[in-house]
A and B are shown apart, each in its own frame.
Chain A
Amino acid sequence: AQTVTQSQPEMSVQEAETVTLSCTYDTSENNYYLFWYKQPPSRQMILVIRQEAYKQQNATENRFSVNFQKAAKSFSLKISDSQLGDTAMYFCAFMTSAGNQFYFGTGTSLTVIP
């Protein structure tokens, strides 16, 4: 069975500062994918960044980057130069190589303070 744990229910950061959201997961799979999704008040889940487990290089997307530690089963998200529009719930998610379903964590509510 796959599990995803997000231990930070709420976080806040000053505008333009950097914040890191934590995520750990458990799986016996060797090939899998990890994701960070953003869910603003509009409720739609928006993909922030994706990491393939077989890639050692950490994924980056503009101001968003991850620290993927496969042995430790850790997958943290770093947001640089935080903007007010980054305020949202952030979910860490796992998917096996079959690509059929997401396993989501419980989320971290991020507030960017002006």
Chain B
Amino acid sequence: DAGVTQSPTHLIKTRGQQVTLRCSPKSGHDTVSWYQQALGQGPQFIFQYYEEEERQRGNFPDRFSGHQFPNYSSELNVNALLLGDSALYLCASSSWWRAVWYGYTFGSGTRLTVV
């Protein structure tokens, strides 16, 4: 049973560019959440997708956007990259109903470096 798959594992972008990160949830999960983990910090919630809609959003600017596809996979897009966007981006999948009981599964993340 595959867990959460994120791609790519690493990438380097130039300031001002746009980037797309991808996440395939664990089999049986229908909800995807994205977190940003800056170096030396805990993960911070970006947003959560369920039924192809953004259900909840953290304190991130509109440069951060996402999408969920009918197969529950998800993309995180960041426009006009800033040096401060350099971080590990984690995807977590879960079931919408009683997620706290059935658990969240995290991926190994995408390390984004903005130069």
Which chain A residues have a beta carbon within 8 Å of chain B's beta carbons? 4, 33, 42-47, 91, 93, 95, 97, 99-107
Q: Which residues of chain B from 71 to 91 have any CB-CB distance to chain A below 8 Å in the complex?
A: 88, 90
Once the chains are docked, how many angstroms separate the CA of A45 from the CA of B98?
20
A15 to B108, CA, bound (A): 27
Contact between A44 and B45 (Cβ–Cβ < 8 Å)? no
Q: Which of B42, B43, B108 is in CB contact (< 8 Å) with A42?
A: B108
Say yes or no: B40 contacts A99, CB within 8 Å. Answer: no
Contact with A along B74-115 (1 / 0, CB 8 A): 000000000000001010100000111001101111010000
**Range of interface residues on B (Cβ < 8 Å):** 20 to 34
Q: Given A45-B43, A99-B99, A101-B45, 9 more contacts at CB 8 Å?
A: A43-B111, A44-B109, A99-B100, A100-B33, A100-B55, A102-B35, A102-B45, A106-B40, A106-B42
Cβ contacts under 8 Å, B103 to chain A: 47
Q: How far is the CA of A106 from the CA of B41 in the complex (A)?
A: 5
- Please, which residues of chain A bring their CB within 8 A of the CB of B48? 100-101
